[in-house]
Chain A
Amino acid sequence: MKGARAEILGKIKASLGTIQDNVAREQAAHMRIAHPPRHVIPKRTQIGKSALLNLFREMAEEVAATTSQIDCLKKLPAEVANYLAQHNLPTQLKTDTNSLLANVDWGALATLEVRCGKAENHDHVSVTAAFAGVAETGTVVLTSGVTNPTTLNFLPENHIVVLPTSRLYRTYEDVWEILRKTGTQSDETLPRTVNWITGPSRTGDIEQTMQLGIHGPRRLHLILVNDDG
C-alpha cells in the first residue's frame, strides 16, 4: 500500500523517540545478527555420544514416534520392509532423491516398489533422509531442495526418516550452524523450507483427546544408521 511503509516506520521511530540515532541502532542490530548472543541451553544435552543417541530415541518415542537402529545403510531396505510388515502397510514407497538414499540398493529386496520424487496423494509411505537430528527433543530436521520434496514429509500417512548417527546433534543451535555452512546455497539465507519434526501429526481439538494423524503422517518412524565408525 502506497505510503504505508513510510508511515508505519515513521510511527515506530516517533514512538521510540529514535529519529536521531538511527545509524547507531542499525549498526548495533547488524552486529547482533552477525554475532548472535549465546542463549541458555538446557543442560540435558551435555552428555556423551552414546547417551545422546539414547536421549534422542527416548524423546522421540515419548511423542509417539518409533525408532530403530541399523549398523549400516545396506540394511535399510530390510529394516524398512520389516517395519512395513509389522504395521501391515503397503510395500510401495516414495523416496527423495537425496544422495544418501540414492545410494541405497532398494532392488535387493524384491518386495519393495520404490519410486522417487514429490509425494502424490495416493502415496502411503515415504522414506526421506534427515538433514540432522536434535537429541534435545527427539526432533528431526528436514530441508527442502532439488532432491528433497517437502510434500514427502506431510502427504503420506506413514513417514520413515533415515538419520545417519553422524548427523545427530545435541541442540538446535548446533544444527543451525551446520545448516548455514553446508545445507544452504551461497545466495540463500536458508533453504525454502526447514522442517523441525517432533513426532507424528496430532490434535487435541476434539474434547482435548490426543489423536494422531489429523493432516500429516499418522506414523513417524526414525531409522538411525550407524556411520560414526
Chain B
Amino acid sequence: MQPTSSAFITNARKALSDVTLQEALKRLQTGFVESRTRAAARIPEFEALCDQARDIKDHVLANLDVYLEIFEAQCKTQGGNVHWCRDTDEVRQTVLKICQATKAKTVTKGKSMIGEEIAINEYLEANGIRAIETDLGEYIIQLRNEAPSHIIAPATHVSKQQVADAFRSTHTKLNPERRLTEPDDLLSEARATLRSQFLNADVGITGANFLVAETGTSVIVTNEGNGDLTQILPRVHIVLASLEKVVPTLADVTALLRVLARSATGQEMSSYTTFSTGPKRAADADGPDEYHVILLDNGRCKLLNTEFKEILRCIRCGACLNHCPVYNAIGGHAYGWVYPGPMGSVLSPGLIGIENTKHLPQASTLCGKCEEVCPVRIPLPNLLRNWRFHVHDQNLMDWKTNWGIKIWAYFAKRSKLYQFVTRYTLAILALGFGRKGRYKDLPFSKAWTRNRDIPAPQGKTFMDQGGNKISERRTS
C-alpha cells in the first residue's frame, strides 16, 4: 500500500470535517471501548493474563530464529510448504507462482494486514488473477477502492448508506429496485454474492493471527467464518504471516487467545478460532490439497535489535486505536498507511522509514491510555518518544518547534537569566491586555487562540513574589 503519511496534517484536517467519519468514530466508543471494559472487568485474572501474554511474546522474540525453524520443520512433516520472503517483491512473486502453478483464475482472501502491506490484490489483478476480499468490512472497502481505517474493523468509517451505494454500483446484475436500507438487506446480499465467490475460488489466502511451532499450525481468529470458507473450499490455502507471529506451543497460543478477543471487541472468544495444520489428509472428507505458509520479514528483523523491539509483541487487537483520543478524532486513514493509531505510529516508521512518517509519533499527547489497555504491555508512549528522538536527530522537526525548544532550553539552563526574562515578559503582558482575565489573541499564538482564549497570568512570578525566600521566613 502506498503511504500517504507525509500528508498527515492535510489528511487529519479533512478527517476532522468529515461528518460521516465523525459519526462512525463516536460509535467506536459505545462499541469496542465499552465492551472491552466489561470483558476485562468480568474475569479477575485479566491483568495477570496480560502480564503473561507479554512474557510469552518476549520469550518468543528472544528466540525467534529457533521457533521459526521448529515451526518450519513441523509444518513440513504435516505436508505443508514454508516459504521465506525478505520483502514485498519476494512475497508477491511467491504468491503469484503458487497461484500460477495451479492455474488459478480467482482468489478469495481472508483479512490480512500483511496482504495490505504488500498490496497483494493489486499485484494479482495486474497479473490476470481476480482477488476478492471476503471479510465484509474488507469487501466493502475493496468496492470503494479504499484502504482499511482500522485493523480489525476496516470499514468502520463507512455508513450504511455508503455500503448500499457501493453494492448498487457493483452488484449490477441484481434488481435495481431492490431495498437496501436495512443492515439485514445488506447482509443478505453480501452473503449471497460472496458465497458464490467462495465456491468458485481456486486459491484461498488468509493471514495468521499466530503460528504454533509445536505443531506447525496457523491460527486465524474471525467472527464471520469467511477465513474458514476461504481455506477449506479452494484447492490451495496460502497463509501470509510475518515472522513475529510464531509462538512456541498450543498452551502459549491459548494463553494469548484469552486476551485477544477481550481486548479487541470485548468478546470472551471470537465466533471462530481455527487451527490449520498442513493440507487435507489423504482420506479427509474436505480441505485444501496444498498448504503454503509464507514467512515474511519486510523489516521485522531490523527492529529486533533496536529500542523499538517491544512493538513486535503486538497481537493486532486494535485496543490502542479504540482508546486513543487522537485516533478517535481523526480515524485511521489520516495515518496514511496500513497501521493506524498508536501501534501504527510506532510500527510504520520502523517499516517504511521515519522520513515518510515523521508526524505519526509526534501527533500524540502521550496520554498513555494505549499502554494501559495493551494486552501485551507495549510501552507505546516511550516508543513514540524514541521515534521523536530520531525526528529531532535527523532534522525532521518543523523549524518553529525546533527553535522554540532550543530557545526555551537556553533560558531554562540559566536560572538567573530565566527569572529576568519571565519577570519582564509578565510585565509586558500586564500592559493593558487581559482586562477580562484572558487574551483572545497574542502575537505568535494563533495556533492556540484559534480555538481557545489564553488565561492571563497572575502578574508576577512565584519567585518574584518572594517564593524563593520562603525558607528564610521560617519561624521556629
Q: Taking the complex as a whole, does A directly touch B, i.e. does some CB pair lie under 8 Å apart?
A: yes
| A interface residue numbers (CB < 8 A to B) | 1, 4-5, 7-9, 11-18, 22, 25-26, 28-30, 32-33, 36-44, 59, 63, 96, 117-118, 121, 136-137, 139, 144-151, 153-155, 172-173, 176, 185, 187-209, 211, 213-217
How far does the alpha carbon of A110 sit from the alpha carbon of B65 in the complex, in Å? 60
Q: Does the CB pair B228–A150 fall under 8 Å?
A: yes
> B260 in the interface, Cβ–Cβ < 8 Å?
no
Q: Does the CB pair B252–A29 fall under 8 Å?
A: no
- Given A198-B269, A211-B184, answer yes or no on A151-B85 (Cβ-Cβ < 8 Å): no
- Given A12-B65, A192-B278, answer yes or no on A176-B224 (Cβ-Cβ < 8 Å): no
Q: Among A9, A39, A195, which residue has its beta carbon within 8 angstroms of that of B274?
A: A195
> B445 in the interface, Cβ–Cβ < 8 Å?
no
Q: Among A59, A198, A214, which residue has its beta carbon within 8 angstroms of that of B224?
A: A214
Q: Among B63, B86, B243, which residue has its beta carbon within 8 angstroms of that of A7?
A: B86
List, in ascending order, chain A residues with CB within 8 A of B93's CB.
1
Q: Among B68, B190, B269, which residue has its beta carbon within 8 angstroms of that of A139?
A: B269
List, in ascending order, chain A residues with CB within 8 A of B442's CB.
none
- The residue on A at minimum CB distance from B277 is A190
A-B contact pairs, 11 of them (CB 8 A): A12-B64, A118-B285, A145-B285, A146-B284, A195-B272, A197-B271, A206-B187, A208-B153, A213-B187, A216-B225, A217-B225
Separation in Å of the B98 CB from the closest CB of chain A? 12
Q: Among B153, B159, B226, which residue has its beta carbon within 8 angstroms of that of A215?
A: B226
- Given A8-B295, A204-B31, A211-B184, answer yes or no on A43-B45 (Cβ-Cβ < 8 Å): yes
- Given A4-B90, A42-B43, A214-B190, answer yes or no on A193-B287 (Cβ-Cβ < 8 Å): yes
Separation in Å of the A60 CB from the closest CB of chain B? 11
Q: Tell me the dominant secondary structure on chain A's binding face.
A: loop
Separation in Å of the B71 CB from the closest CB of chain A? 11
List, in ascending order, chain B residues with CB within 8 A of A172's CB.
254, 257
Q: Does the CB pair A193–B276 fall under 8 Å?
A: yes
Q: Using an 8 Å CB-CB cutoff, how does the interface string of B439-466 with A read, 1 for contact, 0 for none? A: 0000000000000000000000000000
- Given A37-B251, A206-B187, answer yes or no on A13-B65 (Cβ-Cβ < 8 Å): yes
Q: Using an 8 Å CB-CB cutoff, how does the interface string of B129-154 with A read, 1 for contact, 0 for none? A: 00000111100100000000000011
List, in ascending order, chain B residues with CB within 8 A of A15's CB.
301-302, 304-305
Q: Does the CB pair A208–B272 fall under 8 Å?
A: no
Count, chain B residues at interface, CB 8 A = 102
Nearest 5 Cβ contacts at the A-B interface: A216-B225, A15-B305, A149-B285, A189-B215, A36-B251
Q: Does the CB pair B280–A33 fall under 8 Å?
A: no
Q: Does the CB pair A214–B191 fall under 8 Å?
A: yes
Q: Does the CB pair B225–A215 fall under 8 Å?
A: yes
- Given A8-B84, A205-B137, answer yes or no on A192-B276 (Cβ-Cβ < 8 Å): yes
List, in ascending order, chain A residues with CB within 8 A of B186's CB.
206
List, in ascending order, chain A residues with CB within 8 A of B31's CB.
204, 208
> B160 in the interface, Cβ–Cβ < 8 Å?
yes
> B77 in the interface, Cβ–Cβ < 8 Å?
yes
- Given A36-B248, A211-B184, answer yes or no on A8-B301 (Cβ-Cβ < 8 Å): yes
List, in ascending order, chain B residues with CB within 8 A of A190's CB.
215, 217, 275, 277
Separation in Å of the A140 CB from the closest CB of chain B? 11
Q: Does the CB pair A118–B286 fall under 8 Å?
A: yes
- The residue on B at minimum CB distance from A217 is B225
List, in ascending order, chain B residues with CB within 8 A of A40's CB.
45, 48-49, 52, 255
Give the segment of B193-201, B336-344, B398-406, B426-434 that binds chain A.
B193-201
Q: Among B155, B243, B265, B285, which residue has its beta carbon within 8 angstroms of that of A148?
A: B285
Q: Among A14, A36, A198, which residue has its beta carbon within 8 angstroms of that of B271?
A: A198
Chain A CB within 10 A, most for which of B83, B86, B156, B251: B251
Separation in Å of the A128 CB from the closest CB of chain B? 11
Separation in Å of the B5 CB from the closest CB of chain A? 25
Q: Does the CB pair A33–B254 fall under 8 Å?
A: no
Q: Does the CB pair A153–B228 fall under 8 Å?
A: yes
> B250 in the interface, Cβ–Cβ < 8 Å?
yes
- Chain B residues 271-299 with CB under 8 Å of chain A are 271-281, 283-287, 295, 297
Q: Does the CB pair A117–B285 fall under 8 Å?
A: yes
How far does the alpha carbon of A25 sit from the alpha carbon of B305 in the complex, in Å? 18
Q: Does the CB pair A200–B160 fall under 8 Å?
A: no
- The residue on A at minimum CB distance from B303 is A15
> B183 in the interface, Cβ–Cβ < 8 Å?
yes
List, in ascending order, chain B residues with CB within 8 A of A201's CB.
223-225, 271-272
- The residue on A at minimum CB distance from B27 is A208
How far does the alpha carbon of A124 sit from the alpha carbon of B31 in the complex, in Å? 32
Q: Does the CB pair B286–A150 fall under 8 Å?
A: yes
How far does the alpha carbon of A199 sit from the alpha carbon of B270 in the complex, in Å? 8
How far does the alpha carbon of A205 sit from the alpha carbon of B24 in the complex, in Å? 11
How far does the alpha carbon of A42 sit from the alpha carbon of B286 in the complex, in Å? 35
Q: Among B163, B217, B225, B268, which residue has its beta carbon within 8 angstroms of that of A214?
A: B225
